[in-house]
Amino acid sequence: MTTPTSSQEILLQIRNLNKNFGGLQAIDDVTLDLPAGVITTLVGPNGAGKTTLFNLITGHLIPSSGTVHWLGKPLKGFQPWQVARLGIARTFQDLRLYSQMTVEENIMTVMERGSWLWQGGGRAAEQRVTEILAETQLTDKRKERAVDLAYAERKFLSLARIMASQAKLWLLDEPASGLDPRSFERFVTLLRDYAKRGITICIIEHNLDIVIKLSDRVAFLDQGKLLAQGSSEDILKDPHLAAIYFGERA
């Protein structure tokens, strides 16, 4: 696993971030860095604010106060599609695939700007799709519709679209939930490989096996507050955090 160091480039900086929904404080003064090539997992009980944090980063929600900086520049006022074009890609729990499109077409939709024929990008884009299909073991499914894929295959197609986006930051919402053991190991290997290439990955996850096997570091959220950051071992062995995670708070 990659161990974050002070010399690593910080791609995303969150400073004193807050989000209120009326009288509910969904995010409460969160400060967090996401360094290049590091896999950070957000953990915490349901309602901790994990998905809300993703929504604030990607422009789906507007912060009540605080800042989010990407490559040193503030993201305030950016729409989700603009955030995506800056190099931040996201998956959702419901996958959001184009169900009637083929596997290949689903991947190509996120490569549109790089595949314009008059830019000479057509062959390069096709080659990249072929590489991604091989990496996700979807080569034989290239011409099948997304709706006809098995569950694990749809999960890997969702990840393939992220891979094709050329994003530097991946925000993945429970990306390995429901995977069989063999698919899970492939998933872990794939994400570790991309982290080694310098991709920054942030995951929302409840499965402790994934947290332990995949995380370089863990950020523990509860009731909108960032309670702790550290290695998965340090976080999960803390009895106070464990009690909150398993619903045994005093």
Q: Mean pLDDT per segment of 10 residues, for the chain of length 250 residues? A: 62 97 95 96 93 96 97 95 94 88 93 51 83 96 96 94 94 90 92 94 88 92 95 88 74
Residue 13 pairs with which residues in a beta bridge?
33, 69
Amino acid letter for position 28 = D
Q: Is 7 exposed, middle or buried (0-12, 13-18, 19+ CB in 10 A)?
A: exposed
Tell me which long-range contacts 224-229 makes (C-beta under 8 A, separation of at least 24): 224/19, 224/25, 224/26, 224/27, 224/28, 224/30, 224/48, 224/49, 224/52, 225/28, 225/29, 225/30, 225/49, 226/30, 226/31, 226/32, 227/44, 229/32
pLDDT of residue 14: 98
The Cα–Cα gap between 133 and 38 comes to: 24
pLDDT of residue 142: 96
The Cα–Cα gap between 226 and 4 comes to: 18
pLDDT of residue 50: 96
DSSP symbol at 23: T
DSSP symbol at 3: P
The Cα–Cα gap between 96 and 113 comes to: 20
Do 183 and 155 meet the contact criterion of CB atoms below 8 Å apart?
A: yes
SS3 per residue for 59-88: CCCCCCEEEEEECCEECCCCCHHHHHHCCE
- DSSP secondary structure letters along 132-159: HHHHTT-GGGTTSBGGGS-HHHHHHHHH
pLDDT of residue 4: 52
The Cα–Cα gap between 178 and 128 comes to: 28
Do 225 and 250 meet the contact criterion of CB atoms below 8 Å apart?
A: no
Nearest Cα to Cα of residue 125 among 112, 115, 113: 115
pLDDT of residue 119: 45
Domains of the chain by start residue, with CATH: 1-87+167-250 (3.40.50.300), 97-166 (no CATH)
DSSP symbol at 201: E
